[in-house]
Chain A
Amino acid sequence: NAGVTQTPKFRVLKTGQSMTLLCAQDMNHEYMYWYRQDPGMGLRLIHYSVGEGTTAKGEVPDGYNVSRLKKQNFLLGLESAAPSQTSVYFCASSYDSLLAYEQYFGPGTRLTVT
Chain B
Amino acid sequence: GNSVTQMEGPVTLSEEAFLTINCTYTATGYPSLFWYVQYPGEGLQLLLKATKADDKGSNKGFEATYRKETTSFHLEKGSVQVSDSAVYFCALKVKAAGNKLTFGGGTRVLVKP
- What residues of chain A have their CB less than 8 Å away from a CB belonging to chain B? 4, 33, 40-45, 48, 58, 90, 92, 97-100, 102-103, 105-108
Interface residues on B, range: 20 to 34
Q: Distance in Å from the Cβ of A21 to the closest Cβ of chain B? A: 14
User: B105 contacts A41, CB within 8 Å?
Assistant: yes
Across the interface, which residues of A come within 8 angstroms of B98, CB to CB?
Answer: 97
Secondary structure type dominating chain A contacts: loop
- What residues of chain B have their CB less than 8 Å away from a CB belonging to chain A? 4, 8, 32, 34, 36, 41-46, 49, 51, 89, 91, 93, 95, 98-101, 103-106
Q: Sorted from nearest, which 7 A-B pairs have the closest CB atoms?
A: A42-B103, A105-B43, A97-B99, A99-B32, A105-B44, A102-B46, A43-B103
Across the interface, which residues of A come within 8 angstroms of B44, CB to CB?
Answer: 43, 90, 92, 105
Contact flag A99-B95 (CB < 8 Å), given A43-B44, A105-B43, A108-B43: yes
User: A103 contacts B99, CB within 8 Å?
Assistant: no
Q: Distance in Å from the Cβ of A68 to the closest Cβ of chain B? A: 16
Across the interface, which residues of A come within 8 angstroms of B4, CB to CB?
Answer: 42
Across the interface, which residues of B come within 8 angstroms of A92, CB to CB?
Answer: 43-44
